[in-house]
Amino acid sequence: MQIESVWAREVLDSRGNPTVEAEIKVKGHTISAIAPSGASTGTWEALELRDGDKSRYGGKGVLKAVENVRGPIAKALVGMDPSDQEAIDRAMIELDGTENKSNLGGNAMVAVSLAAVRAGAFAEGIPMYEHIGRDHATLPVPMLNIINGGKHAGGNLKIQECMIIPAGAKSFSECLRMSSEVYMSLKSLLKDKYGVSAVNIGDEGGFAPPVDTVDEALTTITDAVSDAGYAPGKDIFLAIDAASSEFFEDGVYNVDGLKLSAGELSDHYVQLTKDHPLISIEDPFFEDDFATTAELTKAVGKRVQIVGDDLFVTNSKRLRRGIDEGAANALLLKVNQIGTITEAGEAAQMSFDNGYNVVVSHRSGESEDTTIADLSVGWGSGEIKTGAPARGERTAKYNRLLRIEEQLGSKARFPGLSKFSI
C-alpha cells in the first residue's frame, strides 16, 4: 500500500489565525490533520513558518508552509508506506535539514506527520490508538484549565492556567462528568462574586475572572469543587501552569503583585502546595533554569508533579539534560514543539524509561483535530491536558476519549490517583 498524494491548505485555528491542514490520500480515501499553534511558546520549539505578509492575516498567513507540503514534502512522501510512521517522519526531517524545522516549517511537518499517523491506521484498518501503541488501553486522567490567565486571557492573573484534576474518579467518563459539574459550579460562583463579565472565557475555554493572584484563583476553584458536591484533595485536585518565562524579566519574576527571585518564587510554590490540594506545577521557572527547577523537584517532587513544557519543548536533548540534573519529573508532550510524531514518541519513551510522567497536551490555538486523544491512549501516557470542558476544539478531544473508552469496554484502564505521588 502506498501514499497516493499529499496536499495542504490554509485553514483557521480556534483563535481565528491561519494554520496548516495536511491531507494524505490512501486507497482512494483522503485523511487529514491540522497543525495546532501556541501563544506562549518556548524559545527552543520547532519554528512555526509564517508568511510575514502584513496584507494577509496581519502577517500570520501560512501559504509558504502550505506550498512546502504541496511541493517538496509531497514529492518525498508519495509512494511511501503509510503505515511506516518513522520512515515518513525521517524523510521530512532529512528534507528539512535544520535543528528547528525552519526550512520546511514545523507547522507544515507536524500537519503531515499527524495526517500520516491517521492514514497509517486507516490503511491497517485499526483504530489510531491501536496503530500507535498496539497493546495500550489506558485512558488518561484529564487536566482541565478552568481559569485562564497570562497570555490566554489578558487579565491581571500572571499564572497562565489553573486546572482541576479529577483523579479520584473511577473512569474517564466519570472524570469528565465531574469536571463539567465543577465547571458549571465555578461559572455560577464567579458570576455571583465578580459579576457577569467574570464568566467570559479565554483561549482554552476556562473563565477569565478579575482575580489578581493564583491563591485567589485556586481558592475560588476549591470553593466551586465543594459547591459541586466533591471533596477537594480527595475527589478533585488542583494544578497550575505557571508559564513563568512570560513573567520573568531582568532576573525577577513579576507575579501575584510581587517581585520575586527564583528562590523566593520556589518558596511561593511550596506554600501554595501546603495551602491547596495542588499536585502538579508546570514550568515553575524561566525556560532555561534547570537548576532551580531541580531544587523545587527535590523539595516537593515526591508529592507534586513538576512538569517541563518550555523547559523541555518535547525535545529529547533537553529532556536528557533535565533527567541528568533532576529537573522536573514529568514531560509535557506537544507534537508541534518538536515537529513529528516519531520525535515526540522518542521523548515519551525516554520519559517512561527514566520514571518521568508524560502529559500529552493541546495548544492554546487548536482545531477540531482529535489526534492527541488517540496519542494519549496509544502511548499509555495516563494524562492529558486539553483545556476546559467547553469550546468545540476542546470537547472534541474529550468526546473522542469517551468513544475510545466505549470501544475498549472491559479492556479500558483508568489510572486515577496512581499517576500522582500522593
For the stretch 305-327, pLDDT in tens is 999 999 999 999 999 999 999 99
422 pLDDT more than 70: no
- At residue 103, the pLDDT reads 97
Q: What is the pLDDT of residues 119-144, one digit of tens each?
A: 999 999 999 999 998 778 999 999 99
Location of C-alpha cell 495500550: 136
Q: pLDDT category, 281, cuts 50, 70, 90?
A: very high
Determine the Cα angle at 315 with ends 314 and 316, to 5°: 115
First vs last C-alpha separation in the chain: 48
Residue with cell string 511537518 = 109
Domain boundaries, the chain: 5-125, 141-419
Reply yes or no on whether the pLDDT at 421 is more than 80. no
**Residue 405 CB partners (closer than 8 Å, separation 6+):** 139, 171, 172, 173, 412
Cα–Cα nearest to 373, from 142, 41, 30: 142
pLDDT above 70 as % of the chain = 99
Here the cell at position 52 is 510575514
Length of the chain: 422
CB 23 within 8 A of CB 87: no
> 5-125 and 141-419: same fold?
no
Instruction: Tell me the whole-structure pTM to 2 decimals.
Output: 0.96
Question: For the chain, what is the mean pLDDT?
Answer: 96
How many angstroms separate the CA atoms of 343 and 314, rounded? Answer: 8
Q: Are 401 and 154 in contact (CB under 8 A)?
A: no
Please check the confidence at residue 331 and state whether its pLDDT lies above 90. yes
The whole-number pLDDT of residue 307 equals: 98
Amino acid at 48: E
Residue 250 backbone dihedrals phi, psi, to 5 degrees: 55, 40
Residue 153 has pLDDT above 90, yes or no: no
pLDDT by residue (tens digit) across 362-420? 999 999 999 999 999 999 999 999 999 999 999 999 999 999 999 999 999 999 999 98
- Are the C-beta atoms of 331 and 308 separated by less than 8 Å? yes
CB-CB neighbours of 91 under 10 Å: 16
Domain over 5-125 is classified CATH 3.30.1360.200? no
**Residue 156 reports pLDDT greater than 90:** no
Closest CA to 358 of 346, 342, 366: 346
Average the pLDDT over 332-339 and give the result. Answer: 97
Give the pLDDT confidence of 232-278 residue by residue, as tens digits.
Answer: 999 999 999 999 999 999 999 999 999 999 999 999 999 999 999 99
SS (H, E, C) the chain: CCCCEEEEEEEECCCCCEEEEEEEEECCEEEEEECCECCCCCCCCCCCCCCCCCCCHHHCCCHHHHHHHHHHHHHHHCCCCCCCHHHHHHHHHHHHCCCCCCCCCHHHHHHHHHHHHHHHHHHHCCCHHHHHHCCCCECCEEEEEEEECHHHCCCCCCCCEEEEECCCCCCHHHHHHHHHHHHHHHHHHHHHHHCHHHHCECCCCCECCCCCCHHHHHHHHHHHHHHCCCCECCCEEEEEECCHHHHEECCEEEECCEEECHHHHHHHHHHHHHHCCEEEEECCCCCCCHHHHHHHHHHHCCCCEEEECCCCCCCHHHHHHHHHHCCCCEEEECHHHHCCHHHHHHHHHHHHHCCCEEEEECCCECCCCCHHHHHHHHCCCCEEECCCCCCHHHHHHHHHHHHHHHHHHHHCECCHHHHCCC
Residue 40: what pLDDT?
65
pLDDT for 154 equals 64
Q: Which of 48, 130, 181, 204 is catalytic?
A: 204
204 tagged catalytic: yes
Q: How confident is the model at residue 200 (pLDDT cuts 50, 70, 90)?
A: very high
pLDDT of amino acid 152: 61
**Each residue of 27-57: pLDDT tens digit?**
999 999 999 998 767 788 999 999 999 999 9
Q: Is 385 a catalytic residue?
A: no
Q: Looking at 334, 385, 397, 419, which residue is catalytic?
A: 334
Asked if residue 345 has pLDDT above 60, the reply is: yes
Q: What average pLDDT score do residues 89-111 get?
A: 97
CATH fold group of domain 141-419: TIM Barrel (3.20.20)
